Structure 1
Amino acid sequence: MNLSNRVELSGKVAVVTGSGRGLGLAYVRALAAAGAAVVVNDVDPGAVDQAVAAITETGGRAIGVTAAVGETDTAELLVSRAVESFGRLDVMVTNAGILRDRVLWKMTDDDFDAVIKVHLRATFTCARAAAVQMRAQGEGGRLVLIASPAGQRGNFGQTNYAAAKAGIAAMSRTWAMELARSAITVNAVVPVAATEMTKTIPAFAPAIEAAERTGSPLPAWMRKDEGLGTVEDVAGLITFLASDVSGDITGQAIGIGGDRLALWAHPTEKAVAFADGGWSAESIAERWHGEVGAEPETYGIPAPTAPGA
């Protein structure tokens, strides 16, 4: 079925946190191009102003809110500004994030708390404020929560970030159940794109730098094998999940990057064994490797390797 005339957002209003640059900017520009009125949010007022100007200069509708997410006051401000300016709220995209990478024994309380606040707590406060407004409107809505491969598999040096992103995926499943009767869908997006963070990965850096220098596309091995492309490559999924076309999709973790679109599996029991009367430490030790633990799960994001490396 040709959906090209249906995946559009005329009449809808969206908030995108952390949308002054990078992935967030790509999201908010794509939503506006599809017809949505958008609220641009970032901690950098210059980035907010530039994003709003870029959207309005091309005929889109946008306002900006400069504020750090995490606190309830900010979440409620974003929703109220959307309603005051455009009359309603249909889509909340929780994208804002920071990094404070350190291995466990060097990570400070502040490192941990800062990342949890911006990623996990801000997703909670913004989604809650959006859900209150959407339920009051009585016409459904879309919560699009930005997760990460680190939250799905873990990543070295990212205790705080991986925990927050795993929590976001878990919240999406819980909220999908809680908001189903209100026709509000909730999905986690697992994006992979060439950003300031991925540019530092040795296997990716030369190809990304060459593409930026020459204007050429990223190589096929990166776009397909690694599922890594530009920030714009991710934006189509955000627009799709914000639209009416995706009304039957909820509680999912969906990956996208480069040429790859993927549905992530949810955690499930992989192997089960039984012992009459229960398990002692000795019985577990005796049977673990030959039964339940015969094929242990992998963990960590596989290290990328460029062809010929």
Structure 2
Amino acid sequence: MSLDGKVAIVTGSGRGLGLAYARQLARQGASVVVNDVDAGAADEAVAAIRSAGGRAVALVAPVGPTETAQALVASALDSFGRLDIVVTNAGVLRDTVLWKMSDEDFDTVVNVHLRGTFTTVREAVRHMRQAGEGGRIICVGSPTGQRGNFGQTNYAAAKAGIVGMVRTWALELKRAGITANTVVPVAATAMTATVPYFAAAVQAEAKGEPVPAFFRHDLGFGTADDVAGLVAFLGSDAAAGVTGQVIGVGGDRIQIWTHPEAVATAYREGGWTYEALLADWSTEFAGALQSVGERFPELPEEFRPAGS
């Protein structure tokens, strides 16, 4: 089931994961609006897609402002006559611990990731609903948005917020035949290149060598191309029944994340007073407390950075 005749927008697609998504969508037959803030990267991405026989145009602009969202949709309609798929991938990092994070650090990340997703999808959905032919919204999340990560208050907040929006959109857009899902990629990118734990995998990928099996299988950590197949699938007619989901993908692994559910419930006539909680917390609730942060298996010695 190809994507022939479909038209997609992919934000932040000049390089990395976004480029892999754009190329895979084009490979499956979709025409693509490539978006990036780097004109050179955007032009190179378009050239690569066209040289492989695909169709693509570039729109150079930062996501976040409504004007960019409007320009993206207009570019799809003016260049290809329709819009079927939106992939919100654009992002930036400004990592630092909470007490050192500036207003600018926080606002920049939230504006690109969260506001950029909101404005882009809002504009796309306005057109899709009017066109009456359904559509596919694919937003990019992160393990950090699911479990938190040291030094990433802004990024965690934005990625968690994206998941909340997607679940809401799945409800709001169902009658229009528009699906909304979150993809959580785990792959060798510029964002993971600085993490020592992934160094061996990132170096292998950079050299064009196979990513070691420990990373691909045990961690579900691979290349950008390992993620792109899921993005294209979610953009297809075959995924018409998939909506409101958070799907993790990387290396040899794919996962469906649970939606938050209560893991412990207790009732007390008259309510839970301070005194009642002091008396009963340890027996009723302490055993149900949830962990935070990502949990990785011990790194095999052969992949440990020198001196660690």
Q: TM-score, normalised by structure 1?
A: 0.96
2:77 matches 1:86: no
Which residue number corresponds to residue 203 of structure 1? 197
Q: What is the alpha-carbon distance in structure 2 between the residues aligned to residue 144 and residue 25 of structure 1?
A: 15
Q: Which runs of 5+ in 1 are unaligned?
A: 1-5
* AA of the residue aligned to 2:122: R
- When residues 257 and 139 of structure 1 are mapped into structure 2, their CA distance, relative to the original with a 3 A threshold, is same
Distance verdict in 2 for CA 1:79–1:211, change over 3 Å: closer
> Partner residue of 2:222?
229
Q: CA deviation at 1:306?
A: 2.0
State whether residues 263 and 288 of structure 2, in contact with CA within 8 Å, keep that contact through their aligned partners in structure 1: no
Whether 1:194 aligns to 2:188 is: yes
In the alignment, is residue 70 of structure 1 matched against residue 70 of structure 2?
A: no
Gaps of 5+ in 2: none
Supply the RMSD in Å over aligned alpha carbons.
Answer: 1.0
1:193, 1:230 within 8 Å by CA — same for their partners in 2? Answer: yes
The answer to whether the 8 A contact 1:203-1:304 is kept is no
Q: Is the 8 A contact 1:288 1:294 kept in 2?
A: no
Q: Distance in 1 between matches of 2:217 and 2:201?
A: 14
User: How much has 1:167 moved relative to structure 2?
Assistant: 0.3
Tell whether the 8 Å contact from 1:19 to 1:40 is kept in structure 2 after alignment. Answer: yes
Partners of 2:224 and 2:204 in 1: how far apart?
Answer: 16
Which stretch of structure 1 is more off in the superposition, 115-124 or 278-287?
278-287
SS at match of 1:129: helix
2:132 corresponds to which residue?
Answer: 138
2:295 partner amino acid: P
Distance 2:209 2:203 in 1: 10
Question: Which one is further off, 281-290 or 187-196?
Answer: 281-290
Residue of structure 1 equivalent to 2:158: 164
Q: For residues 237 and 221 of structure 2, what CA distance do their matches in structure 1 show?
A: 27
CA-CA distance at 1:283 after TM superposition: 0.6
* TM-score (norm. length: structure 2): 0.96
User: Aligned with 1:235: secondary structure?
Assistant: helix
Q: Deviations over 1:60-109 (max 9, x none)?
A: 11000000000101001100110111111000100000000000000000
Counterpart of 1:245?
238
- 2:284 aligns with one of 278, 286, 291: 291
Deviation at 1:206, TM superposition (A): 2.7
Count residues in correspondence.
302
**1:121 alignment counterpart:** 115
Deviations 1:247-267 (A, max 9, x none): 000000000000000000011
Q: Report the more deviating stretch, 281-290 or 10-19.
A: 281-290
Q: Is the 8 A contact 1:142 1:185 kept in 2?
A: yes
Identical columns (%): 59
Which residue of structure 1 lines up, in the alignment, with residue 18 of structure 2? 24
